[in-house]
Amino acid sequence: MQILGLSECADTLVGDEMRRGIFGIVYGSALFLGFMNCSILQPVVAMERVVLYREKAAGMYSTMAYAIAQVTTHINDQPYMLVQVLIFSSIVYPMIGFQLSAAKFFWFFLYLVMSFMYYTLYGMMTVALTPNIEIAMGLSFLIFIFWNVFSGFIIAREVLITHTHLMS
């Protein structure tokens, strides 16, 4: 198994433990920064809800138009997210010890950009589904806990598969 060019290094040093550690670093860093982006974004989206209620009551536009505009606006924030991910990736990528290859760095960068975009849209969704910001933050935190438990780092995949077969 090759992880961004680390197969030889991982097999000679510690094997599967090193691979698991590398995946843990990538997963943990994406999770931490993504959760921070989600948490920072939620109050902003909740404040925009007041504008929606006012404009909808005045008959200015529909909820669907608001939702499309909101997603488009936050997708326009991509340059900020790209700069954030570029700075983070350029520090973390060589620190982990990945091969310094432009193609492999691009795949690492793309993984983090997609993860951050997912967390951003997830934060917007939790605010849209809940009546206030406190419940949205609690719901997103609860779901993040479930994601961590069943991601394969806290409970190994083999254990999950074994217990799944026992339940059926």
Specify the pLDDT at position 90. 92
In whole angstroms, give the CA distance from residue 133 to residue 115.
22
Domain-located, residue 24: yes
Residues ≥6 apart with Cβ < 8 Å to 48: 70
Domain-located, residue 136: yes
Domain-located, residue 97: yes
Specify the pLDDT at position 168. 55
In whole angstroms, give the CA distance from residue 161 to residue 122.
27
Specify the pLDDT at position 61. 80
∠ CA 75-81-111 to the nearest 5 degrees? 95
If we measure between CA atoms, which residue out of 133, 16, 30, 135 comes closest to residue 85? 30
pLDDT by position in tens, the chain (length 168): 445 544 444 444 456 666 767 777 888 888 888 888 888 889 988 888 888 888 888 888 888 888 888 778 777 777 888 898 999 999 988 888 888 899 999 999 998 888 888 888 888 889 989 999 999 999 999 998 888 887 776 776 676 666 556 555
Domain-located, residue 45: yes
Specify the pLDDT at position 29. 81
Specify the pLDDT at position 15. 62
Residues ≥6 apart with Cβ < 8 Å to 58: none
Domain-located, residue 29: yes
| Residue labelled with tokens 């394969």 | 152
Domain-located, residue 1: no
59 phi and psi, to 5 degrees? 75, 25
Q: Give yes or no for a contact between 145 and 31, defined as CB atoms under 8 angstroms apart.
A: no
Domain-located, residue 133: yes
Structural domain boundaries enclosing 106:
7-167
Domain-located, residue 2: no
Q: Give yes or no for a contact between 70 and 48, defined as CB atoms under 8 angstroms apart.
A: yes
Q: How many domains does the chain have?
A: 1
